[in-house]
Chain A
């Protein structure tokens, strides 16, 4: 997106939430030498595939979490069904 028109740079900053830090950690662990369960390039491709609307609507770590899930599905590390069941279980626990 270099060179496209855009507004002012907003410089407010905030402390990241725990879940956001854990998304970052997830990315580091899964891409490390020992595990190599995803490459950052796959994450970037999945983020780029979001399309402009979703991209702008989503927060930074939401986009990365989306990309991690998509990549792990594409790699066959996780199945859609087990993700669905785990999410259901967490909602049941009030998570």
Chain B
């Protein structure tokens, strides 16, 4: 399923990420899933939240550069070959994967992954057709 992901630019200074999480906490925003891509000077926090538009608005008001992009959410069997099945489908369809991050949902033996692909709509279509279970912000 196509999921709206929030990306936030964060400087690499002590406490900066805590500034960000404080804003989320104060506004009662729950991070369903998150990852940080980093360089020496800065990082980009990518996260899944329930209300992405509202979250971006709050972050921008607080001086963060934040934006929304579309990623594809997939629910996998948490066992060997689970991820491969999905990637094989995408490769077959000629869809590139830019990055992936995952959250384990151990109670149900499932792993939920978020993928940024070169074509979100097509990715959803081919994954659905191959019987892959899709996941959204409410799947967590």
Pairing of A with B: no
